[in-house]
Structure 1
Amino acid sequence: MISSLSFINQKGEILIYRVYKDDISRNEITQFCAKMIATKENKEFPIINIDQTSFIHISIKDIIILATTKTDVNVAMVLEFLYQLVLIFFDFKSKICKSYFQGNLDENCIKKSFVLIYEILDEVLDYGIPQIADPNLLQKFIQEGGVQQETTINIEKLRQLTFTLTGAVSWRPIGLYYEKNELYLDIIESVNLLISAKDTVLRAEVVGSIELKSKLTGMPECQIGMNDKLLMGKQQKQTRQTIGISIDDMKFHPCIRLPKFDKDRTITFIPPDGHCQLISYRISENINIPFKVNVFYSEIIDNKLEIRLKIKSIYDNNIYGTNVLVKVPVPKNTVNAITATALGKARYEVEEQSVIWRIKKFQGDFETSLRCEINLGATNKDQVWSKPPLRMEFQIPMFTASGLRIRFLKVMEKAGYKTNKWIRYLTKGGEYLHRL
């Protein structure tokens, strides 16, 4: 698939050059550097074709990572592979090259680590086909410095490494042990909303993720049961009436067994150790909007403006929103503001050009209001104030705007140990806007 892989500096000089097929010469890459690097066109066009050769590249600070090919390849896959290389070489969490680069990605660091980089490139690609791109897996058999620190390899370690390479659980090492076995599951959602001045919903979507933190012994298998009916992709178009939750996009962690999910919507997996994101998703239909906002602006006299704001929480009264913040925009020539509210605190903040209303705790199915009297300074009457939208920030535990719920969470391991399990829900305000 990939004929060659190169690391190029900002001058167009080739620092690293690894050949996997002989259908593209170094001279062709040099011509690419002369034509594209010198004219700075590489940042605008990540995919460039020259004489039936495809140059696919990404830029990381002053270094360009370039993949070349003459075949019809999946470009998205190649770009994803190049970004995965960045995680292997330059990510702070990667233990392979942390001691070499230490957060500084430049030409000198690459020149000092030639041996290590070439060794890694030999492992991640085989005849131009991506093989191993997991930093946690690579660090098991590529030691710091590019050479093995032990002269003899323990047979048991070799057996474990072979199992990791050939099996389907490269994300989890074997032999883990915890005195207390614990599993945390967090469903975190951000609500993006845009409402017109006439209270019409112009845009509404939920961007969410299912976060997992596991401290489990051995090699357990976990199962998560979600809502009975989840509609995805073509299922939404084929169903005339919307039933359950319609999911537009979903991204899965490699540990999840997709055939099982497609069959009965059960998430079955062997969990990675520690924290990971199991699923990310986006929903744009049938969203439970947590707050209803009504805003009224009225001019009392020439230099005085009154703002009345009502907010009602639209979730169960046994649920409490926390850290609610409402940013009410005011004209630029505002001198001061007198605020009155029965819940929380509100004050005019000059640097924000807004009245900021903060509420620590907001009960569900509850309505409260804010009244502001804005004193204005002298201004040009011909200038019309273009009102920016009102913004909201909030956090609501035990509530999901999408309606997504977890029906069950199971942990199955041959040792049969007891697992402490926690399921938590949290909805946050993303781009939550109300036009005035």
Structure 2
Amino acid sequence: MISAVYLINLKGEILIYRAYRDDVSRAAADAFRMQVLAAKEFRSPVQVFEKASFFHIRSSNVYLVAATRENVNASMAFQFLFALVEVFKGYFGGAFEEEAVRENFPLVYELLDEVMDFGYPQSCSVDLLKTFIMQEGQQLDPGRALVAASLAPAQVTGAVSWRREGIKYRKNEVFLDVVENVNLLMSSKGTVLKSDVTGEIVMKTYLSGMPECKFGLNDKLMMQGEGKKGGSGSIEMEDVSFHQCVKLGKFDSDKAVTFIPPDGEFVLMKYRVSDNINLPFKVSPIVKELGRTRLEINVKVKAQYSSVTGLNVIVRIPLPPNTAKVTTTAAAGKAKYEPETSELVWRMRKFPGDTEYALSGEVEMSARIEDKKPWSRPPISMEFQVPMLAASGLHVRFLKIYEKSNYNTIKWVRYISKNGQYLNRI
């Protein structure tokens, strides 16, 4: 049970104070402000003053503080504070700062009244809150004609709190994005030391009524749930987490992801794959030291995909901090030395599949007597984006939509592979 919520700026000034109970004194709150926020460094996010516990997080230039005298679950308190940040961002256009709080005092107080009742957290769903707390001047997607439901939905205390009734679209569409971040650590000899993919399935739904969606992937468990053996085309997903709209009971029984989607954009599920990763790029670096003041660099990058084109590919080659001059020749793109990070940055806007590009160059270094430590040779890192490629091998097998009016739905599926920590040791 939370007794009060404070929004405090970096100077220690209270911007907003909302008391839900009267068991936390003003003196305790002042002690927290003076002793914690006034300090330059503080380690623990939980502090106790006058037998009251203060849980605090920071978002941009605002501290969010929850105070209580009860022995509450700390994870619950922090989860509520982080959810509160997302609520404010949803109303303030993605930015939650002191300026936004000062310009929207009435709205902030109204939100604090709705998200908590007598110290007990209630719904923190932005979509649900926007059905009865409407910010003035809020605009819908101009390309879509959405007929809003009545202000107070019947689902406020029901099971489907993330979707309101009465939604109507002239054009019913579903956009599904499989976004994967590829992580790699490769040795200087070309041996893969560690690789995995962390991915998420992002959906944008513009559907009328109260549809039920059924979603299928080539995951081993899902395919076995349908009586199919996991063949060479199946993958094994780990650390899977779902949006609250997913019916976990049906997933446990028939291994199908069934859900009533929220309106608009949301993350349906997150996952990790650590076996049989299709690495988009292979980097072959050779760095030779020619004496104490010269380096010779040769880096080859090969695309290990076909039929698609990589976009905005960046190769960051670390150089010694005493680098004075760099001369390079690149088969594609442009290479430039950036002294502030001591890196040679090689940029290519497009990287066609089954293509190999090479970069060569010479580095001249200034001889510094004080530099006695040898160069540590940090790894080469990459940034990239490859559309229509799923590095994990994940494949959307089907997406079915059921609604009592039986309307036609246009479905769009897209795959995107991006870099996570993509490192190659020199």
TM-score strictly above 0.5: yes
Q: Which residue of the partner structure matches residue 200 of structure 1?
A: 191
Q: Which residue of the partner structure matches residue 94 of structure 1?
A: 91
How far did residue 285 of structure 1 move?
4.1
> TM-score, normalization: structure 1?
0.78
Distance 1:301 1:32, change over 3 A: closer
What SS class does the counterpart of residue 136 from structure 1 fall into?
Answer: helix
Is 2:403 the partner of 1:413? yes
User: Structure 1 CA distance, aligned partners of 2:129 and 2:291?
Assistant: 71
Is 2:166 the partner of 1:175? yes
Distance 1:175 1:130, change over 3 A: same
In the alignment, residue 79 of structure 1 is paired with which amino acid? F
Determine if contact 2:149/2:167 at 8 Å carries over to the other structure: no
In the alignment, residue 128 of structure 1 is paired with which amino acid? G
Is 2:315 the partner of 1:326? yes
Is 2:102 the partner of 1:109? yes
Determine if contact 1:94/1:136 at 8 Å carries over to the other structure: no
Determine if contact 1:334/1:374 at 8 Å carries over to the other structure: no
Q: Which residue of the partner structure matches residue 370 of structure 1?
A: 358
Q: Which residue of the partner structure matches residue 83 of structure 1?
A: 82
User: Gaps (5+ residues) in structure 2?
Assistant: 137-147, 223-231
Determine if contact 2:205/2:262 at 8 Å carries over to the other structure: yes
Distance 1:25 1:182, change over 3 A: same
Distance 1:28 1:243, change over 3 A: farther
- Residue in structure 2 matching 1:313, options 276, 290, 303: 303
**Which aligned pairs between 1:242-321 and structure 2 lie closer than 5 A?**
245-298=235-288, 305-315=295-305, 317-321=306-310
Determine if contact 1:228/1:265 at 8 Å carries over to the other structure: no
Is 2:209 the partner of 1:213? no
What is the alpha-carbon root mean square deviation over aligned residues? 3.6
- Residue in structure 2 matching 1:229, options 210, 220, 228: 220
Distance 1:10 1:407, change over 3 A: closer
> What percent identity do the matched residue pairs reach?
42
In the alignment, residue 29 of structure 1 is paired with which amino acid? A
Q: Which of the pair has more CA radius of gyration?
A: 1
- 1:180-202: CA deviations, max 9, x gaps? 22211110111121222233333
Determine if contact 2:31/2:49 at 8 Å carries over to the other structure: no
How far did residue 306 of structure 1 move?
3.6
In the alignment, residue 122 of structure 2 is paired with which amino acid? Q
Determine if contact 1:194/1:202 at 8 Å carries over to the other structure: yes
What SS class does the counterpart of residue 424 from structure 1 fall into?
Answer: strand
Q: Which residue of the partner structure matches residue 5 of structure 2?
A: 5
Distance 1:76 1:323, change over 3 A: same
Distance 1:379 1:35, change over 3 A: closer
Is 2:138 the partner of 1:129? no
Q: Which residue of the partner structure matches residue 152 of structure 1?
A: none
User: Structure 2 CA distance, aligned partners of 1:346 and 1:108?
Assistant: 44
Distance 1:117 1:198, change over 3 A: same
Distance 1:181 1:63, change over 3 A: closer
Q: Which residue of the partner structure matches residue 228 of structure 2?
A: none
In the alignment, residue 390 of structure 2 is paired with which amino acid? T
Q: Which residue of the partner structure matches residue 379 of structure 1?
A: 367
Determine if contact 1:337/1:347 at 8 Å carries over to the other structure: no
- 1:323-343: CA deviations, max 9, x gaps? 4333334555453435264xx
Determine if contact 1:221/1:268 at 8 Å carries over to the other structure: yes
Q: Which residue of the partner structure matches residue 229 of structure 2?
A: none
User: Gaps (5+ residues) in structure 1?
Assistant: 146-155, 232-241
- Residue in structure 2 matching 1:396, options 358, 382, 386: 386
Determine if contact 2:185/2:425 at 8 Å carries over to the other structure: yes
Q: Which residue of the partner structure matches residue 56 of structure 2?
A: 57
User: Structure 2 CA distance, aligned partners of 1:191 and 1:339?
Assistant: 28
How far did residue 321 of structure 1 move?
3.3
User: Structure 2 CA distance, aligned partners of 1:426 and 1:416?
Assistant: 31
How far did residue 223 of structure 1 move?
1.2
